[in-house]
Structure 1
């Protein structure tokens, strides 16, 4: 059974900002998209068995990227770190409110928001309106 990670997307205001950042990093060369984190997940095998990294943007889970690999390494200062190798494709999700937290957390599949496009009609709403309705607990 796949397991997911959830992480705050610091410095990003909108889903479009995150998409632009991914595009910039991909344009810089290389065939892999990685996110470096301090701690290595102990349940790596579960994560790469169909898991995703869910991004919290401005207090709401708004997107996910599929996890392809988890690669521990030691940086030049001798500190252990971890590369999360991600699919460069960003999948917009239904908005789900989240409180701030540090680092990343595991996210069970049953707690993960669904992708947009499996519609109840809210998917067609503008992002700003969807955000306002989500903050009111109406989505």
Structure 2
């Protein structure tokens, strides 16, 4: 099982890549390894289906553009003393075939059969063909 999440406040994939290493320090989270950490309010009920198997798919400016493998989900406590969940991910961004996604709040489960394919697995490998893939996706053709 995967997770899909809006990447709020980020306009491009390159912008996400540029600050992904800083995020864990915003909360004082230190997992002692080269990981990307994102904090969310709730622990997924389907945690066992996601840890080490799923990915978080990032929606950037209304388009799914990449994914990061989920290594584990850790219970945490925020600065107000409330329980939350740290999503601990591999630092590598895997680009996906662009797919438009309407806005939503929080995160959602994403069934593997509904997840966009990684670039290279869908026949779109060059930068120009990614723009074509995004246009075809907007038209509902891929």
Per-residue CA deviation, residues 18-60 of structure 1 (Å, 9 max, x unaligned), is 111225559xx95232100111111111101410000011111
Which ranges in structure 1 are unaligned for 5 or more consecutive residues?
Answer: none
Which ranges in structure 2 are unaligned for 5 or more consecutive residues?
Answer: 25-29
- Larger CA deviation: 96-105 vs 30-39: 30-39
Between the aligned partners of 2:12 and 2:60, the Cα distance in structure 1 is 7
Between the aligned partners of 1:70 and 1:24, the Cα distance in structure 2 is 18
Between the aligned partners of 2:127 and 2:56, the Cα distance in structure 1 is 24
- Please tell me the root mean square deviation across aligned C-alpha atoms, in Å: 2.3
2:125 aligned with 1:123, yes or no?
A: yes
Per-residue CA deviation, residues 74-130 of structure 1 (Å, 9 max, x unaligned), is 22312111100000000000111111000000000100011001242x332435554
Distance 1:114 1:128, change over 3 A: closer
Query: TM-score when scaled to structure 1?
Result: 0.84
Distance 1:71 1:25, change over 3 A: closer
2:55 aligned with 1:57, yes or no?
A: no
Query: TM-score when scaled to structure 2?
Result: 0.83
2:132 aligned with 1:134, yes or no?
A: no
2:12 aligned with 1:9, yes or no?
A: no
Between the aligned partners of 1:25 and 1:133, the Cα distance in structure 2 is 33
2:105 aligned with 1:107, yes or no?
A: no
Of 76, 82, 94, which aligns to 2:85? 82
1:94 corresponds to which residue? 97
How far apart are residue 5 of structure 1 and its match? Answer: 0.3
What is the count of residue pairs matched by the alignment? 135
- Larger CA deviation: 32-41 vs 17-26: 17-26
